[in-house]
């Protein structure tokens, strides 16, 4: 079970207080209606899913309810950094 530092609460808490939401830094296109199906599909479905260092969006769901980024290694499960969105 991960030990995660919430950058808002500024405390380490057990993983069960959190959950993973998505890949970090997915930006909603500013003009969705101007996107082609291809572009909208990229935004909807295509993710890097990197083996190794990866940025993810998590939420402190039963804590402060804040969303934040975790930089972690998906191979070793090491957490390198957590930061506010």
**Nearest distance from C-beta of residue 17 to other proteins, angstroms:** 13
Footprint of other proteins on 43-62 (CB under 8 A): 43-44, 57, 59, 61
Rounded to the nearest 10°, the torsion over CA 34, 36, 37, 41 is -80
What are 84's strand-pairing partners? 68
16 lies in the binding site for other proteins (CB under 8 A):
no
Distance CA 7, CA 18 (A): 12
DSSP H helical segments within 32-85, as ranges? 37-45
64 lies in the binding site for Zn ion (CB under 5 A):
yes
- Alpha-carbon dihedral sign for residues 14, 44, 72, 10: negative
32 lies in the binding site for other proteins (CB under 8 A):
yes
From 42, 50, 74, 76, residue interacting with other proteins (rule: CB under 8 A)? 76
6 lies in the binding site for Zn ion (CB under 5 A):
yes
Give the interface with Zn ion as residue ranges (CB under 5 A): 6, 8-9, 60, 63-64
């Amino acid at each position: 079970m991960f030990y995660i530092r919430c950058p808002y609460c500024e405390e380490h808490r057990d993983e069960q207080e959190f959950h993973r939401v998505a890949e970090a830094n997915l930006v909603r296109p500013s003009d969705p209606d101007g996107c082609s199906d291809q572009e909208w599909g990229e935004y909807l479905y295509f993710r890097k899913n990197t083996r190794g260092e990866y940025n993810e969006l998590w939420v402190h769901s039963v804590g402060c309810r804040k969303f934040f980024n975790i930089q972690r290694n998906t191979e070793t499960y090491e957490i390198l950094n957590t930061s506010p969105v």
